[in-house]
Chain A
């Protein structure tokens, strides 16, 4: 037996018991009656008491019944629990999924709430190990909440109140769910004795109790024995309409024209028609009705895929803006009903071309949508004052053609045929007759660029540092590489275009175009404004002792101080939405944090989880209380006793 609220019961007892006794002595207000003499009455009372000893008992039986009834009530107040589970105590790890899909409201209040509720019941049902329990030793449990990473809410303990408080403290998130880290953490903790180190050895395997909808991304990487994991499935429905992709882009030719693409997915079994709304800076610009086909069910549950439809909007907007695409309709999961994008103002680049003369390159660059192209000789470039260059920063991109400059102001560089000094790249020798063997097709710089036929008669060997990104490779050396050094970005080409057949390829112009666009995107200090949930917001180049204020989507504010290097990082992007960052003396910067995860938006709860080691089926039943709460029975007993007391009192008066 354990007591949930012993102090409440004791406090009530301290007040109620003396009160009842007092009432018992005070309660009988006898009517006064004058008689000639009490002589005979006293004798009668004596006779009554002497001849009928039961009478005395009957008088006191009322007090006895009242005391019993009150005792029952006081015990009920103290919340006794009868622990019926036998055996030695075990160790449990309670894993609670708090990813985006757990925010679905198909169960009340939502899946996370239900998971917490069931986890609480589980925790309350643990064996306490007290004298009145059937268990020999107490159960220990720890609580881990996880989405894309795991958070230990409470280390191993047998204190149920602490465990319950830890469960209550779990807040919702919009992240993706990954169990691997949680399992690793749980196993690590299970190796060491908990905070209440007892005689138990560390060999006892801790049982993992998972409360989740089963939509976990990294199931196939987890190795646990099937009997180590108990999976409690939370959730009922699969109906959800989500925005799974969203992208806004300015038109090449007309920068004020904005194209917005969005992809909607329907995870339900029925096709749905939904209105999709586009807003910019809070103003609704367009609403479009789309019909999304139903989920396609394959032969197996794994093979089913959601019905998808793409929507695109175009609008005219020159200037910065926060785009919002929202599907207007109620479904179980709200956080994937909208997606946000940050629209940068149209910007045209100023480009400095440092070359002895390269008409091919110059004409290719001129065909790019740039504002200004200033050709310059290498001697002229070296003669520029680097300090002035750093302050004014007149060019967005500097293209170096076969030139190794004496100084490198902070800027974006596209270098052909020579390697700038001081960026940890060596070029010891020259190669001849090189063919490209591999290149990264998906990199923005090489998008739509076909390098199959590229041949370089001469090329420099590039010995790159580890953090460099290789975009294309010759047989013996990297051909194209991306490197960030000293606040500058370098796009390096190991060969001179005039020593290759590239100018004759259409891919060269495309490459120039992509490179300009890519380097232009690096203008804002390489800052990424469109983030996934849990990506940190990073703000570089802040003056010292500046504090930035981050406003979350729910309007709460956090102040972030930058590190000595001038970089402020805000990692708390756990909810989807638009985050506003206020930097003193600057305009407000907006960051869009989106879920945009087709797997997480699929909220259909899984019947079984296929781990890499085993398949764990969901528990058939909800978590039941293994302990008997005794207070309802005690309350009933108190009621019955009160009724009996009433009957006895009436009998006594009427006889």
Chain B
């Protein structure tokens, strides 16, 4: 396929071909089997257009004549409609944080985020799911909506590779926009460091919905998890320039780690209470193991 070659080549900048090969065997799994707009490859509780027969019902005016069971009409001279178990498509919405804070870290959190987004997007597109990738900072900056099929891999790769991380983060606005643009049902995956000064609770509440599974992947750099600082420092927030003057001491580091753990644990609790799944990762870990092992275990992919 000459058309996919550049796509694959571009995507290989983010994903290892071997990894992609393994991803081919995966699919995104929704815990809530929800109705999609188009016929998908997923069984829905709704009966509709599908291969798998479910039942008959009487024709009422206005029904699609295409679904009339003409054989039954021939025998019974009554109009019945064939009902199928409809196989529905799954909408996968990936919200990736591209604020300036994601650009920090060694290795950068942004790279990890892009790889993860690419991997999940790849799985979604390969399995013909509807994929929306939204990159947000102070609101949603760029969005590739309603992609379906391998042909969109290049577009997705293009988007991910050309986006730089900068600017403020306004998580609530991003979530508001994302929730508003969401249609149907599916899975929402948020990839961010979740270090929002204005808080994440209001924002996440907007994303919580009965029709969407919610996955939250918190990416932290090793420097954030285990700070290697010393001396008298003036810490500058990369986003709002806020300064914190510290004199690094063991006590301070101890309190920092305790706070970090508490923060993550609060986020986890918040997610659990609302039926969302929280995943914390280190930007130094490999995306492969995360996707192939951990996300499988939490049944995001299968």
Which A residues have a C-beta under 8 Å from some C-beta of B? Answer: 28-45, 47-48, 51-52, 55, 59, 652-653, 655
Asked if B234 and A33 make an inter-chain contact with CB atoms under 8 angstroms apart, the answer reads: yes
* Cross-chain contact of B221 among A29, A31, A36 (Cβ < 8 A): A36
B251 at the interface (CB under 8 A from A): yes
Query: Which 4 pairs across A and B sit closest by C-beta, in order of nearness?
Result: A36-B101, A37-B195, A30-B234, A44-B256
6 pairs of residues in contact across A and B, judged by CB atoms under 8 Å: A32-B235, A32-B236, A34-B235, A38-B235, A41-B235, A45-B252
Asked if B238 and A35 make an inter-chain contact with CB atoms under 8 angstroms apart, the answer reads: yes
Asked if A32 and B234 make an inter-chain contact with CB atoms under 8 angstroms apart, the answer reads: yes
B142 at the interface (CB under 8 A from A): no
B41 at the interface (CB under 8 A from A): no
Q: How far is the CA of A33 from the CA of B227 in the complex (A)?
A: 12
Q: Which residues of B contact A36 (CB under 8 A)?
A: 101-102, 104-105, 109, 193, 195, 221, 224, 237-239
Q: Which residues of B contact A32 (CB under 8 A)?
A: 233-236
Task: Looking at the assembled complex, report how far the CB atom of A160 sits from the nearest CB atom of chain B, in whole angstroms.
Answer: 50
Asked if A33 and B224 make an inter-chain contact with CB atoms under 8 angstroms apart, the answer reads: no
Q: Which residues of B contact A33 (CB under 8 A)?
A: 229, 233-236
B197 at the interface (CB under 8 A from A): yes
Asked if A37 and B101 make an inter-chain contact with CB atoms under 8 angstroms apart, the answer reads: yes
B273 at the interface (CB under 8 A from A): no
Task: Looking at the assembled complex, report how far the CB atom of A549 sits from the nearest CB atom of chain B, in whole angstroms.
Answer: 76
Most-contacted residue by chain B among A32, A47, A652 (CB, 10 A): A47
Mark contacts of B256-289 with chain A using CB atoms, 8 A cut-off: 1 yes-contact digit, 0 otherwise: 1011100100000000000000000000000000
Asked if A37 and B237 make an inter-chain contact with CB atoms under 8 angstroms apart, the answer reads: yes
* Cross-chain contact of A655 among B221, B246, B250 (Cβ < 8 A): B250
Q: Which residues of B contact A43 (CB under 8 A)?
A: 255, 259
Q: How far is the CA of A248 from the CA of B109 in the complex (A)?
A: 115
Q: Which residues of B contact A38 (CB under 8 A)?
A: 235-237, 242-244
B62 at the interface (CB under 8 A from A): no
Q: How far is the CA of A44 from the CA of B234 in the complex (A)?
A: 14
Q: How far is the CA of A655 from the CA of B254 in the complex (A)?
A: 12
Task: Looking at the assembled complex, report how far the CB atom of B251 sits from the nearest CB atom of chain A, in whole angstroms.
Answer: 6
**Contact status of A48 and B252, CB under 8 A, knowing A36-B105, A37-B197, A40-B259:** yes
Asked if A30 and B195 make an inter-chain contact with CB atoms under 8 angstroms apart, the answer reads: no
Question: Interface on chain B toward A: helix, strand, loop, or mixed SS?
Answer: mixed
* Cross-chain contact of B251 among A29, A40, A52 (Cβ < 8 A): A52
Task: Looking at the assembled complex, report how far the CB atom of B141 sits from the nearest CB atom of chain A, in whole angstroms.
Answer: 18
* Cross-chain contact of B244 among A41, A55, A652, A653 (Cβ < 8 A): A41
Task: Looking at the assembled complex, report how far the CB atom of A69 sits from the nearest CB atom of chain B, in whole angstroms.
Answer: 22
Give residues of chain B (197-255) contacting chain A, Cβ–Cβ below 8 Å: 197, 221, 224, 229, 231-239, 242-247, 249-252, 255
Asked if B233 and A31 make an inter-chain contact with CB atoms under 8 angstroms apart, the answer reads: yes
**Contact status of A40 and B104, CB under 8 A, knowing A31-B233, A33-B229, A35-B237:** no
Q: Which residues of B contact A34 (CB under 8 A)?
A: 104, 235-236, 238
Q: How far is the CA of A371 from the CA of B224 in the complex (A)?
A: 127
Asked if B235 and A35 make an inter-chain contact with CB atoms under 8 angstroms apart, the answer reads: yes
Asked if B246 and A35 make an inter-chain contact with CB atoms under 8 angstroms apart, the answer reads: no
Mark contacts of B172-216 with chain A using CB atoms, 8 A cut-off: 1 yes-contact digit, 0 otherwise: 000000000000000000000101110000000000000000000
Which B residues have a C-beta under 8 Å from some C-beta of A? Answer: 101-102, 104-105, 109, 193, 195-197, 221, 224, 229, 231-239, 242-247, 249-252, 255-256, 258-260, 263
- Contacts A32-B233, A32-B234 known; 5 new A-B pairs at CB < 8 A: A32-B236, A36-B238, A38-B242, A44-B252, A655-B250
How many A-B contacts if CB must be within 8 Å? 98
Most-contacted residue by chain A among B243, B256, B258, B263 (CB, 10 A): B256
Task: Looking at the assembled complex, report how far the CB atom of B285 sits from the nearest CB atom of chain A, in whole angstroms.
Answer: 17
Q: Which residues of B contact A45 (CB under 8 A)?
A: 244, 246, 252, 255
Which of chain A's residues has its CB closest to B242's CB? A38
Task: Looking at the assembled complex, report how far the CB atom of B42 sits from the nearest CB atom of chain A, in whole angstroms.
Answer: 38
Asked if A47 and B195 make an inter-chain contact with CB atoms under 8 angstroms apart, the answer reads: no
Task: Looking at the assembled complex, report how far the CB atom of B217 sits from the nearest CB atom of chain A, in whole angstroms.
Answer: 16
Which of chain B's residues has its CB closest to A51's CB? B255
Q: Which residues of A contact B245 (CB under 8 A)?
A: 30
Most-contacted residue by chain B among A34, A35, A48, A59 (CB, 10 A): A35
Q: Which residues of A contact B259 (CB under 8 A)?
A: 40, 43-44, 47
Q: Which residues of B contact A653 (CB under 8 A)?
A: 231-232, 247
**Contact status of A44 and B255, CB under 8 A, knowing A34-B104, A38-B244, A653-B231:** yes
Task: Looking at the assembled complex, report how far the CB atom of B127 sits from the nearest CB atom of chain A, in whole angstroms.
Answer: 34
**Contact status of A37 and B232, CB under 8 A, knowing A45-B252, A48-B255, A655-B250:** no
* Cross-chain contact of A28 among B232, B235, B242 (Cβ < 8 A): B232
* Cross-chain contact of A40 among B239, B243, B263 (Cβ < 8 A): B263
Which of chain A's residues has its CB closest to B253's CB? A44
Q: How far is the CA of A36 from the CA of B250 in the complex (A)?
A: 21
Q: How far is the CA of A33 from the CA of B237 in the complex (A)?
A: 9
**Contact status of A35 and B251, CB under 8 A, knowing A40-B260, A41-B246, A45-B244:** no
Task: Looking at the assembled complex, report how far the CB atom of B253 sits from the nearest CB atom of chain A, in whole angstroms.
Answer: 8
Task: Looking at the assembled complex, report how far the CB atom of B112 sits from the nearest CB atom of chain A, in whole angstroms.
Answer: 13
Q: How far is the CA of A30 from the CA of B235 in the complex (A)?
A: 9
**Contact status of A37 and B239, CB under 8 A, knowing A45-B244, A652-B247, A655-B250:** yes
Q: How far is the CA of A28 from the CA of B246 in the complex (A)?
A: 11
Q: How far is the CA of A48 from the CA of B244 in the complex (A)?
A: 13
Q: How far is the CA of A51 from the CA of B242 in the complex (A)?
A: 24
**Contact status of A31 and B232, CB under 8 A, knowing A44-B252, A48-B255:** yes
Q: Which residues of B contact A59 (CB under 8 A)?
A: 247
Q: How far is the CA of A478 from the CA of B104 in the complex (A)?
A: 130
Task: Looking at the assembled complex, report how far the CB atom of B280 sits from the nearest CB atom of chain A, in whole angstroms.
Answer: 14
Most-contacted residue by chain B among A32, A41, A47 (CB, 10 A): A41
Q: How far is the CA of A44 from the CA of B258 in the complex (A)?
A: 8
Task: Looking at the assembled complex, report how far the CB atom of B105 sits from the nearest CB atom of chain A, in whole angstroms.
Answer: 7
**Contact status of A35 and B104, CB under 8 A, knowing A40-B260, A44-B255, A655-B249:** yes
Which of chain B's residues has its CB closest to A40's CB? B259
Q: Which residues of B contact A41 (CB under 8 A)?
A: 235, 244, 246, 256
Q: Which residues of A contact B250 (CB under 8 A)?
A: 655
Task: Looking at the assembled complex, report how far the CB atom of B291 sits from the nearest CB atom of chain A, in whole angstroms.
Answer: 24
Q: Which residues of B contact A35 (CB under 8 A)?
A: 104, 224, 235-238
Task: Looking at the assembled complex, report how far the CB atom of B47 sits from the nearest CB atom of chain A, in whole angstroms.
Answer: 49
Q: How far is the CA of A31 from the CA of B238 in the complex (A)?
A: 15
Task: Looking at the assembled complex, report how far the CB atom of A514 sits from the nearest CB atom of chain B, in whole angstroms.
Answer: 104
Q: Which residues of A contact B242 (CB under 8 A)?
A: 38
Task: Looking at the assembled complex, report how far the CB atom of B298 sits from the nearest CB atom of chain A, in whole angstroms.
Answer: 25
Q: How far is the CA of A38 from the CA of B197 in the complex (A)?
A: 9
Asked if B238 and A40 make an inter-chain contact with CB atoms under 8 angstroms apart, the answer reads: no
**Contact status of A31 and B231, CB under 8 A, knowing A47-B259, A51-B255, A55-B251:** yes
